[in-house]
Amino acid sequence: MTGKIQGNGCIIIIITMAVIQLFSVYPAIADAPAAGYGISGSAGNSTGLLALSADDYPVDSAFAINNERISLDFRGVDIRDVLSALAIKMGVDIIKVDAKPVEINFKANNITPLQAMELIIEGQGLTYLQNGQIILVGTPGTLKANYFDQMILTRFSLYYVPADKIKELIGTLGVEQVSVTVDTNQNLIWVQGTAQVLKKVRELIYAVDTEDSQLSLEYKTLTLTQIPTDRAVELLKNVGIELKRYVQLDNRLLVFDSELFSRWDKIEKLVKELDIPAAGIRKVFVYQLKNVTAGYAAERLSSFNFADEVKTVTYNYEKFGKELLVICPPNLVTPVRSALVSLDTTRQKTKVPVLTTTGEKARQSLYAKINLLSELSGISSANFHVSNNLSGDNNNPEYVLWVEETPDNVQLVKDLIEEMDIGSSSGEGETSGD
């Protein structure tokens, strides 16, 4: 009992017993008890699907299904496992309104996953309803126009987190209009709710039923007020923060990626900056600066003739950072990038004093600070210089640290000195240059 899906050089080998575990980790398909159909069959080169009336059963066409062409070869495979594999390829959730297993044989070349699904379910006398990312599969008599509003009883398989903990978590997260039942088998949980609610439960199980969640189900919450949660996920990915295990509940984003928790304050601050109406429809990109800091670039960019249509985010430490996040209308992306290129240029070097030190070991102290400042700023230590004794008194010498660099790098050095609080924290005898 094996099957194969091939697409773009990627082959998924399916063995009947193993496929249940492979695809139920992301339970894209779940069983909903209803009238069963126990006749094995195969779908071939049929030209159409026994479809429901589009007028009676509207399909949400705003969601685009993956149209990548694939080749398939299934022999004696449970139809639920086949639909589960196709659901992953299509990027949707499939709920089959039928609890009984049906083995099928199916082979096709160079077709889309949606075409494959239609051919397979047609061979079983079934049809489907689609609402966004949710597809219900069943008989024409079973699927009614208001089926998405009806309560469906569905079984989910669990592998790492016991069912009673999942039930507790569902209650804690406040998933509405859902009934959860746990039996003696802690690897199974029964959930009753609408198709939309079951999709949320499915996302939750996918997010938490992992090996590293066995000891902890900790999560963090991001609450959005201006942009939808899926847009927040997209924007975070654009700036290099990819959420892998999360659940979207209304305007809340529940994140289970524990590796992100150590920098959660930074993520919350960033999301707060991004949670504005403009970010919902505008382009967002990160510009990597080379010669100037993010704070300098943001300040200078505001002087260009972009009015209020361009917003910048400098993250933490804008005086030192080199990454600038930009939010702007699509038609301004190129002009903004051009403006940043003109700002991020190498400027002529100048000589500026940055720190004055007095005392018996003042000279050694300055050389030690040069090493640290060079390491922190990336400026070569050869560009730092220490003057001769300016006081003329060997018992109370005075030395000046000066740097030969571009104005931006000089300011960077001054900001680093201020950040380290050199002078006030190290006792008398040290002053920063103006």
* Interatomic CA distance for residues 394 and 398, integer angstroms: 9
Number of compact structural domains in the chain: 4
Tokens of 108: 């096709």
15 with 97, same domain: the answer is yes
* Interatomic CA distance for residues 204 and 207, integer angstroms: 5
CB 292 within 8 A of CB 343: yes
One digit per residue, the tens of pLDDT, for the chain of length 434 reads 445 455 443 333 333 333 322 233 333 344 443 322 222 333 333 333 333 333 333 333 334 566 788 888 888 888 888 888 888 888 888 888 765 778 989 888 888 888 899 899 888 888 888 877 778 888 877 776 556 666 777 778 887 888 888 888 877 777 766 777 777 778 888 887 777 778 788 888 878 887 765 556 788 889 988 888 888 888 888 777 888 888 888 788 888 888 888 889 888 888 887 887 777 777 878 888 887 778 888 888 888 888 778 888 776 556 667 788 888 888 888 888 888 888 887 777 888 898 988 888 888 889 889 989 888 888 888 999 999 988 888 888 999 999 988 887 888 888 888 887 754 333 345 555 55
Q: What is the CATH number of the domain that holds 358?
A: 3.30.70
User: What's the pLDDT score for residue 19?
Assistant: 32
163 with 92, same domain: the answer is no
Contacts 24+ apart (CB under 8 A), 8-13: 8/68, 12/85
User: What's the pLDDT score for residue 213?
Assistant: 59
135 with 73, same domain: the answer is yes
Left, alpha or beta for 362 (phi > 0: left; psi -120 to 50: alpha)?
alpha
79 with 188, same domain: the answer is no
Last residue of a domain, one of 128, 149, 170: 149
258 with 284, same domain: the answer is yes
Which residues span the domain enclosing 8? 2-149
CB 391 within 8 A of CB 398: yes
297 with 204, same domain: the answer is no
* Interatomic CA distance for residues 325 and 162, integer angstroms: 42
161 with 241, same domain: the answer is no
Q: What is the CATH number of the domain that holds 170?
A: 3.30.1370.120
Tokens of 239: 């700036």
Give, in order, the Cα–Cα distances in Å from 90 to each of 85, 117, 135, 159, 318: 9, 10, 11, 24, 42
User: What's the pLDDT score for residue 384?
Assistant: 92
141 with 164, same domain: the answer is no
175 with 293, same domain: the answer is no
16 with 144, same domain: the answer is yes
137 with 165, same domain: the answer is no
195 with 231, same domain: the answer is no
3-state secondary structure 136-166: EEECCCCCCCCHHHCCEEEEEECCCCCHHHH
